[in-house]
Copies of this chain bind each other. A is one copy, B any other.
Amino acid sequence: MVTQMAGPDPMALAVEAAWAFQGCTFPNPAVGAAVTDASGGILAVAAHEKAGGPHAEVLALQHAFALLTSDTAILALVDSGAIHDYLLAHHNGCFASCAIHVSLEPCSHHGKTPSCARLLAGVRMGRVVYAAADPNAEAAGGASILSEAGIRVEHQPSKAADDLIFPFVQWQTKPFVTFKWAQRLDGTIDGGIISGSESRCFVHAMRDAADLLVIGGNTVRTDRPTLDARMVEGKAPDILILSKRDDFDRTIPLFNVPGRKVMIASDLTAMDRYRNILVEGGPGMFESLQSRCDMYLCFVAPSSGGTIRFLQKRKQFEIRHLSRSGKDVKQWMVNG
């Protein structure tokens, strides 16, 4: 029989929240945070959405503060620095018997946003529990800052938290390659639009965060796609068109996005100059890029009716995260 948890696990909720933005946070990691009160009740769960935006800890503190103090003015703030300042000025010890559970060690450095470790020390958080240690030399050291400030810190490593930052750990030293496809429940990909608008919007958010998008020559010739991030008003990534021939119509929008570099090559060497690479390809690309793929993102529409299957050979995956994406299923997978 299925068994259920005794109560909601704040760290599990934090990791779950973070996965919603996996692929969208580059060069930052996907991070989630949950704040619990004196009884262990969960006050807030939040995730880092995008580099430059507030870190997970800041968003979780923002919502927990509003619940604890009934001062909802803080909810109108969107700038990370402004939320930091408000919390430091008004916390009045409200977090003294609270704990924050973060999937990754709170950052030590003042980058695009102020340091989370200093914020947590400043608001006198009762207890800080973090799962993964920060593998980034510049951002690491948050736990030490907290300990030195007299905050109770607990390191509770977990596979779930390590899986969450697998892309982040890899792009510290080498390219991370995500292969994305959309199919129906019957495995087919032909016969019109497959995935819904939420799924396509998410792919645009991933393109916005990717530094390189790899695509097949036939897709460019046939679909004449723009491959930008207009649905999220984001930047268009550089493009590598995998093709033996250079016979492309240079007037299509793909070639005319300002600031974008478009490369045409019959091999993947250009990938080595990038860190967060998204591949959008068909069954042929899938077979030929297998050895270079680190993670797979598959959207599955709850429908059937095509004739060409995306997966055409024997293959075993392991699901790393599963969620709904509008009417579709969204599943992150690795080789099984």
Give the interface of A toward B (CB within 8 A).
Answer: 1-2, 4-8, 13, 17, 20-21, 24, 36-37, 39-47, 49-50, 59, 63-64, 67-68, 75, 183-188, 201-202, 205, 232, 298, 300, 302-305, 309-319, 322-324, 327, 329, 331, 333, 336
Is B186 in contact with A309, judged by CB distance below 8 angstroms?
A: yes
Bound complex: CA A183 to CA B8 (Å): 31
Least Cβ distance of A307 to chain B in Å?
10
A319 in complex: contacting residue of B42, B46, B67, B327, CB < 8 Å: B327
| A64: B residues at CB distance < 8 A | 7
Q: Are B46 and A43 in contact (CB under 8 A)?
A: no
| Complex contacts, A304 vs chain B, CB 8 Å | 187, 309, 311-315
Q: Which listed residue, B183, B188, B336, touches A302 by the CB 8 Å rule? A: B336
**A21 to chain B: closest residue by CB:** B2
A302 contacts across to B, CB distance below 8 A: 316-319, 331, 333, 336
Q: Could you tell me the distance between the alpha carbons of A319 and B317 in the complex, rounded to whole angstroms?
A: 22
Given the complex of chains A and B, what is the CA–CA distance between A327 and B333 in angstroms?
11
Task: State whether B8 touches A310 (Cβ < 8 A).
Answer: no
B309 adjacent to A305 (CB under 8 Å) = no
Set of chain B residues within 8 Å of A2, measured between Cβ atoms = 20-21, 24, 49, 201-202, 205
Q: Is the CB of A185 within 8 A of B49?
A: no
Whether the pair A4, B49 counts as a contact (CB closer than 8 A) is yes
Give the CA-CA distance A44 to B5 in the complex, in Å. 9
The 24 sampled A-B contact pairs (Cβ below 8 Å) are: A1-B50, A2-B20, A2-B201, A4-B20, A6-B75, A7-B43, A8-B13, A8-B42, A8-B44, A40-B67, A41-B67, A183-B185, A184-B187, A185-B300, A187-B187, A187-B188, A302-B333, A302-B336, A303-B314, A304-B311, A305-B313, A318-B327, A319-B327, A327-B336
Of B20, B183, B187, the contact of A309 (CB 8 Å cutoff) = B187
Contact assessment for B331 and A329 in the assembled complex, using a CB-CB cutoff below 8 Å? yes
A4, B41: Cβ atoms closer than 8 Å: no
Q: Is the CB of A63 within 8 A of B1?
A: no
Interface contacts beyond A305-B315, A322-B323: sample of 4 additional A-B pairs, CB < 8 Å, sorted by A? A1-B24, A8-B42, A8-B45, A37-B41
CB-CB under 8 A from A1, the residues of chain B are: 24, 49-50, 201, 205, 232
Q: Do B39 and A68 touch (CB < 8 A)?
A: yes
A185-B298 CB under 8 A given contacts A4-B20, A4-B46, A50-B1: yes
Chain B residues whose CB sits within 8 angstroms of the CB of A5 once the complex forms:
45
| A21, A40, A184: residue with the most chain B Cβ atoms closer than 10 Å | A40
Determine if B21 and A185 form an interchain contact, defined as CB atoms under 8 angstroms apart.
no
Nearest-Cβ distance from residue A159 to partner chain B, whole angstroms? 15
Across the A-B interface, the 8 shortest Cβ-Cβ residue pairs: A41-B41, A305-B314, A187-B187, A304-B311, A302-B317, A186-B187, A186-B311, A42-B42
